[in-house]
Chain A
Amino acid sequence: MNQTGLDSSFILHPASFQKGLPPMAMELPDEAIVYNYQSLLVPVGEEWNAAAELRARHFLPPGRLKELTPRLMQCRSQVAAEREVRNVPPESLPLDPAFIDLPQATLDQYRRKGDASDLGQVLNLAAHLRDETDRVVLLGIGGAA
C-alpha cells in the first residue's frame, strides 16, 4: 500500500487463470505481469507549485481509481471463472474461454496421441516442408488469423 491508500500496482497472477489444470500443467508461479501506475495518480499532500498544480489538473485522482478497482477485480474474476462454466446461460453466448488452456491442452494431446494429435500433424507437415522450402510467409488478419 502507498500514501494514496491504494495498491501501487495491478498484478495479473497466472495462478488466477490456472484453475483446474492437470498436474502436468506448466507452472510459472513467479511470472506475473505487473502494472505500475503510481506515476499517473495525483500525488497526495504535494506542496503547491506550478508543476504540482498541473499534476493536480491532469493526473488521475486516486479516488476515481479506487472506485474502479472493484470493477477491475470483478472482470478478472469473471474471466477466470468462465473457464469452469459448463452450462453457459443464453445471455452469455458466445462464450469461448477455452483458448486460455489451449497451449497446455495442445501439448497434453501431443503427449497422449503423438503424430495423430493436432501438434503432431503440424510437426510432421513442418518436417516435410523443411526439405522443400527455404522461406515461409504467414499471412493473417487480426483476430481471424
Chain B
Amino acid sequence: LTVVQTRDQATRGQHNQEGPRDRVVNNLVVKTPRSVPIGVQMADHNEDELNGYSRKGLPDLLGAALRGSNQAAFEVARSTADLVLPALSEHTMGQLPQMLATVVEARLMGLNPYAAPAAEVHRRNLREALKG
C-alpha cells in the first residue's frame, strides 16, 4: 500500500514516528528550486524569537526539517529514505511515475506494465452490470 501525504509533523508525522512499525517513509525531495527561494525576514520585535533565522531561504528550512525528521526517525529505529529529484521539471516528473513507479516496479514484480488484463475484466463487468 502506497500512501502519499505531507511530511508535516503536526498531521501524520507523529503516527510515523510512534505508530505501528509497518511502513517505510520515502521523502520526496526537490534538490533545486525552480525560482529564487523565499527568504525569512526580520520581525520588528522578534516576537517568535526567529530573527536568528533571517536570511535563511525556504530550501534551508525544508532541508533542516528533513534532516531533523530523518534523524529523529533513525533514533527510534524508523525506516526512512529520500527520493531526490534534481529539479521540478516535466522531465523528472515524467521519469518518476512512469519510469520508476510504474514500469520498473511492474517489471520487478514480474508483471507486464503495458498490459491491463484486470482493467478489461472490470470494463466487461461494468458493461454487463449496465445491461441489467
Residues of A within 8 A of B (CB): 12, 14, 17, 26, 28, 30-40, 51, 54-55, 57-60, 71-72, 75-76, 78-79, 92-97, 99-100, 103, 143-144
| Chain A-chain B contacts (Cβ-Cβ < 8 Å), number | 96
Known A35-B83, A79-B99; contact A95-B107, beta-carbon cutoff 8 A: no
**Interface pair B100/A12, CB less than 8 Å apart:** yes
Name the CB-closest residue of B to A95.
Answer: B114
Name the contact of A75 in the complex, choosing from B79, B95, B96, B108 (C-beta under 8 A): B108
Is the CB–CB distance between A100 and B91 below 8 Å? no
Q: Write the residues of chain B forming the contact surface with A, with a CB cutoff of 8 angstroms.
A: 21, 24, 70, 73-87, 89-92, 94-96, 98-100, 103-104, 107-108, 112, 114-116, 119
Task: Tell me the interface secondary structure of chain A in the complex.
Answer: helix
B residues near A97, Cβ cutoff 8 Å: 103, 114
B96: which of A33, A54, A79, A143 is its contact (CB, 8 Å)?
Answer: A33
Complex Cα distance A67/B88, Å?
A: 32
